[in-house]
Amino acid sequence: MQNWSHVNTVVEQLNHIPSKLHGTDIMRIRPWYLDGQARFYRQTIILGSHLNPDINTLFNNHCLNFEGKVKLLHEHEGVLPKVLLQVRQIYERIDMESVDANDVRLDYFKKKVFPKLKDSVQLERIVGTAPAKPMVTSDQRMFTFC
């Protein structure tokens, strides 16, 4: 979802009667649609990865089916409690002139971070990500950035 106000505008316009016929067979239009009751006969399904106030407002104000409403929430337990080993995370600050300097980040990783990791821990492989970059691989195939 890129713009929530666009979603609201689209849902508000769903059941308005069109101004032009566009080749519509008038005999097939239901009377309750012409009476402005179409919003009560519409089935609306809203999917989201989590509930937020915008979704709740949309659900409460625009989903008005006469048969009722149902809101289902599936909470995934996750796998984090099943992780037995403690993982040590190290954050390092890089002084850069531009936020988009991916080459600077990669060079910093190659020259400063990777040698420390390589010497301190027995590693098989490190995989990282860099936005909009072709695949970069080390000489010994120890790390890969995609």
Q: Is residue 83 part of a domain?
A: no
Q: How many domains does the chain have?
A: 2
In the chain, which residues have pLDDT < 70?
A: 1-2, 80, 83-90, 99-100, 120-146
Q: Are residues 53 and 97 in the same domain?
A: no
Q: Is residue 138 part of a domain?
A: yes
Q: Is residue 76 part of a domain?
A: no
Q: Is residue 15 part of a domain?
A: yes
Q: Are residues 93 and 55 in the same domain?
A: no
Q: Are residues 8 and 58 in the same domain?
A: yes
Tokens of 111: 């020259």
What is the value of pTM for the model shown?
0.46
For the CA atoms of the chain, what is the radius of gyration? Answer: 27
Tens of pLDDT, residue by residue over 68-91, are 888 888 777 777 677 666 656 667
Give the residue numbers spanning the domain of 32: 4-62
**Residue 146, pLDDT score:** 47
Q: Is residue 78 part of a domain?
A: no
By CB atoms closer than 10 A (0-12, 13-18, 19+), residue 115 is: exposed
Q: Are residues 58 and 99 in the same domain?
A: no
Q: Are residues 8 and 57 in the same domain?
A: yes
**114: number of Cβ within 10 Å:** 16
